Each structure stands twice: as structure tokens, then as C-alpha cells.
Chains A and B, each alone.
Chain A
Amino acid sequence: GQQVMQIPQYQHVQEGEDFTTYCNSSTTLSNIQWYKQRPGGHPVFLIQLVKSGEVKKQKRLTFQFGEAKKNSSLHITATQTTDVGTYFCARGSNYKLTFGKGTLLTVNP
């Protein structure tokens, strides 16, 4: 199937440390979306990447789309306790999204 693999599954950091989660596919992605789900909450859209090599920034968050459009990453600089949650990537194809299993980020204050 057209799955996306996310690594790591879990990441615990000290507040102020950086964090990166990776999303990989064996096939070319037409686009990739990133969502964040706070504990007990629902997924919230963060960003969509479409172009090869695209880099987008949202404050301390940096999103990249690989040159071959087979991988993507989300990097958080200087994590804060408000960054806690699960980060999902999702690929769009066949009129639907397929989500990765997510990376759960916990931050020690």
C-alpha cells in the first residue's frame, strides 16, 4: 500500500533542545501534509508541501520536502512545553490522505 513511515515513534527532550521527525515513502509523493495532535485533542493542520526541495518555516518549526519527493521532515528549534503532542505526516493520493503513525514528542521542563 501507499504508506508513509515516520521515525522516531517517540522522542523525549529537555526544554530548549531541538527535535526532528522524519517521514519516508518508497514511492514519490505528490504532496505531504503535517498535522499536530495535542494530548487528548484532535489533529490540527500545520502545513502542506508540494514542490521538490521545498522548505517552509513557521516560527520555530521548519518543514522540508526532499528533492526526490520521497521524504519530508519537521524540525523544531528550542522546544517548549507547548510543543508536546503527536506530529503526523500524511500523503495525499486517490482522493484521500494516508497518515503515518506519528511521532510523540514529550518535553521535560
Chain B
Amino acid sequence: DGGITQSPKYLFRKEGQNVTLSCEQNLNHDAMYWYRQDPGQGLRLIYYSQIVNDFQKGDIAEGYSVSREKKESFPLTVTSAQKNPTAFYLCASSIDSQETQYFGPGTRLLVL
């Protein structure tokens, strides 16, 4: 069963803590993306990676970090420097950076 998985579905974090969101795909896609979604804001790009061992900042990268050590995995770390981290986080992948994006089910992060 191919696709993109994100875990966990819900995540609670205390202020001042870093937290890592998982994103895995078995579609053999080169490109992967992280978006943040807030009500009324649509999807905003945090980081993207066109190929393994390479990634670029998106529009709202401050307070976030990523790694792309494997083609299948693109974890996102929300650091304590992110002042307003409560949001819905979506991971996506595509065959290459010009093509259709396939989204995972998302992780809802809530800061307590």
C-alpha cells in the first residue's frame, strides 16, 4: 500500500520544547515538502527538498529545521524558537518538483 504517512496524528508540546514530526513516503518520489496550515491562511511552505541530502527554505522557515538523509524520509523539527507553533502540519511529495503533490494525512500540533 503506497503513500505518505505522517505521525503522530496529534502532538502536544510544552512551551520551550523541540518536537519532531515524522514524514515517510514509499512512492519513490524525489521531492518532498512541509507546509503549515492555519485557519484562513491556506498552505504556507516551510521547507522543501528536491533530492536527498538537499533542502531549501520556504516562505516561513524561521523556527523550523529539516533533514533529508534518506529519500523516503523528511522529518520536520519545530524548535523552541518558533513562537506560534500551534497549527496543522502537512507533508507532501512529488515525482519531481514540477509535478503533482501528494499529501500525507497531517499532524496537528498543540502547544500547551
Using a CB–CB distance below 8 Å, which chain A residues touch chain B?
1, 9, 33, 41-45, 48, 88, 92, 95-102
Known A96-B48, A98-B45; contact A42-B97, beta-carbon cutoff 8 A = no
Cβ contact within 8 Å between B97 and A95: yes
Q: List 26 A-B contacts (CB under 8 A).
A: A1-B59, A9-B40, A33-B100, A33-B101, A41-B105, A42-B90, A42-B106, A43-B43, A43-B90, A43-B103, A88-B42, A92-B98, A95-B31, A95-B97, A96-B33, A96-B48, A96-B58, A97-B33, A97-B45, A97-B101, A98-B45, A99-B35, A99-B42, A100-B42, A101-B41, A101-B42
B50 at the interface (CB under 8 A from A): yes
Cβ contact within 8 Å between B40 and A101: yes
Which residues on the B side are within 8 Å of A43 (C-beta)?
A: 43, 90, 92, 101, 103
Nearest to B35 among chain A residues (CB) is: A99
Contact flags (1/0) for B93-112 with A, using CB distance below 8 Å? 00001101111111000000
Query: CA A40 – CA B104 in complex, angstroms?
Result: 12
Known A45-B100, A45-B102; contact A95-B48, beta-carbon cutoff 8 A = yes
Closest 10 CB pairs of A and B: A95-B97, A101-B42, A42-B103, A99-B43, A45-B100, A43-B103, A99-B42, A102-B42, A42-B106, A96-B48
Nearest to B98 among chain A residues (CB) is: A92
Using a CB–CB distance below 8 Å, which chain B residues touch chain A?
31, 33, 35, 40-45, 48, 50, 58-59, 90, 92, 97-98, 100-106
Cβ contact within 8 Å between B105 and A45: no
Which residues on the B side are within 8 Å of A97 (C-beta)?
A: 33, 45, 101
Cβ contact within 8 Å between A96 and B45: yes
Which residues on the B side are within 8 Å of A42 (C-beta)?
A: 90, 103-106
Which residues on the B side are within 8 Å of A98 (C-beta)?
A: 45
Which residues on the B side are within 8 Å of A92 (C-beta)?
A: 98
Query: CA A33 – CA B43 in complex, angstroms?
Result: 14
Query: CA A102 – CA B103 in complex, angstroms?
Result: 16
